[in-house]
């Protein structure tokens, strides 16, 4: 990070700090935000996390979630918090549209802005940027940031737990995006007291029966294999949402599950939500779903995990996606 000393100076006296993370926050959005928040709170800063939309239930046990401000629920309060901030941190996203209206509200403020993120192609809106697209997770970068500041004595247990959640989440429990560095950081977090088995149990062995039935329905009735393009596709309609009482977070993990099918190179989950259609994509190896998300749906993410919103309805979105595949036939048919 350039100008690190300037940021160190800013953080050397107590400040009002706002941390933003992205809409539909996942384990890394929450893990990096809470990890940084507890680290800053330990240094007597005043810290508020603001998220555009609610976090999924499976993360509701994390220390400090009850203090998170959800813009969708209390926009006026969020606005006041934003106007009071001395410093903004933007975690696990790098384009302002990922925080909806909060982006405009933040950009109206002159307070310095810090981006810590691992997504491709960062927008240039911040004063301080720690961007590493090779990092497993933003949580890994928060760990780096704490060490860059030379403040590992404030890596408190709540920070260690939160960063562990973020790393587990963005590596699919150490299945992908791993590196020797990820394992070294994880070992340090365990040395700091993280109970890995208990956290993994909370994250993975905690499904409601209803959630398993949703997965069952999706795999049984909504799965299409487009063999020619080594692609697996699940589509969830708004009728499915109603019939199975599908809530935020209930569909997480389905797209990763599709990657477990033999010979599949691309997996896509397309969900019909109240105002948008959401695409969630995964790939293996060199095939970039980031390119599909960015070029054709104005979304983004990583080479092997990307997402986007579509505004043309479910059927047209599915058709559009399928019509794109022939463009990539050569790459997808290679063994």
**Matching residue, tokens 């760990």:** 143
Q: Report how far residue 122's alpha carbon sits from residue 92's, in angstroms, rounded to the nearest whole number.
A: 11
Among 170, 240, 250, 272, binds Mn ion (CB under 5 A): 170
272 binds Mn ion (CB under 5 A): no
Nearer to Mn ion, 27 or 112 (CB): 27
Among 287, 307, 317, 318, binds ligand 5GP (CB under 6 A): 307
Instruction: Retrieve residue 283's tokens.
Output: 């790939």
Q: Report how far residue 163's alpha carbon sits from residue 57's, in angstroms, rounded to the nearest whole number.
A: 18
Among 27, 302, 304, 310, binds ligand 5GP (CB under 6 A): 302
31 binds ligand 5GP (CB under 6 A): no
Q: Report how far residue 254's alpha carbon sits from residue 218's, in angstroms, rounded to the nearest whole number.
A: 8
Nearer to ligand 5GP, 159 or 283 (CB): 283
Contact 21, 93 (CB under 8 A): yes
Among 129, 299, 310, 317, binds ligand 5GP (CB under 6 A): 299
Among 92, 161, 250, 272, binds Mn ion (CB under 5 A): 92
| DSSP annotation of 227 | G
Q: How far is the CB of 300 from ligand 5GP (least distance, A)?
A: 3
Instruction: Retrieve residue 232's tokens.
Output: 């697996």
301 binds ligand 5GP (CB under 6 A): yes
Provide the residue count of the chain: 335
Q: Report how far residue 299's alpha carbon sits from residue 293's, in angstroms, rounded to the nearest whole number.
A: 5
Binder of residue 307, out of Mn ion, ligand 5GP, none (CB less than 5 to 8 A by kind): ligand 5GP
* 76 CB-contact burial (10 Å; exposed 0-12 / middle 13-18 / buried 19+): exposed
Among 19, 21, 22, 28, binds Mn ion (CB under 5 A): 28
Nearer to ligand 5GP, 162 or 194 (CB): 162
State which H helix or E strand residue 50 sits in: strand 46-51
Residues in contact with Mn ion by CB under 5 A are: 28, 92, 137-138, 170
Residues in contact with ligand 5GP by CB under 6 A are: 22, 26, 95, 98, 119, 280, 299-302, 305-309
């Amino acid at each position: 990070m350039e100008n690190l000393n300037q940021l160190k100076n800013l953080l050397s006296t107590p400040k009002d700090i706002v941390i933003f993370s992205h809409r539909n926050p996942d384990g890394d959005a929450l893990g990096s935000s809470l990890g940084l928040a507890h680290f800053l709170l330990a240094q007597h800063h005043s810290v508020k996390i603001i998220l555009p939309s609610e976090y999924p239930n499976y993360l509701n046990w994390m220390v400090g979630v009850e203090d998170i401000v959800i813009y969708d629920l209390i926009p006026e309060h969020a606005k006041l918090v934003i106007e009071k901030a001395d410093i903004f941190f933007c975690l696990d996203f790098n384009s302002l549209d990922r925080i909806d209206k909060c982006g405009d509200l933040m950009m109206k403020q002159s307070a310095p802005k810090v981006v810590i993120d691992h997504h491709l192609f960062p927008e240039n809106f911040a004063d301080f940027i720690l961007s590493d697209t090779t990092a497993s997770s933003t949580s890994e970068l928060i760990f780096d940031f704490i060490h860059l500041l030379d403040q590992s004595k404030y890596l408190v247990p709540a920070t260690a737990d939160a960063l562990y959640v973020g790393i587990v989440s963005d590596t699919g429990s150490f299945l992908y995006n791993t590196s020797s560095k990820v394992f070294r950081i994880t070992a340090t977090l365990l040395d700091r007291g993280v109970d890995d088995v208990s956290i993994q149990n909370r994250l993975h062995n905690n499904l409601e029966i209803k959630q398993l039935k949703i997965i069952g329905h999706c795999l049984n009735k909504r799965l299409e294999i487009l063999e020619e393009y080594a692609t697996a596709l699940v589509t969830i309609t708004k009728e499915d949402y109603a019939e199975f009482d599908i809530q935020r977070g209930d569909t997480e993990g389905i797209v990763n599950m599709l990657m477990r099918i033999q010979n599949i190179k691309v997996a896509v989950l397309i969900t019909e939500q109240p105002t948008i259609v959401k695409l969630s994509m995964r790939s293996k190896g060199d095939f970039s779903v980031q390119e599909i998300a960015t070029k054709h749906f104005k979304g983004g993410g990583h080479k092997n995990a990307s997402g986007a919103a579509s505004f043309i309805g479910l059927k047209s979105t599915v058709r559009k996606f399928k019509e794109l595949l022939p463009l990539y036939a050569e790459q997808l048919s290679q063994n």
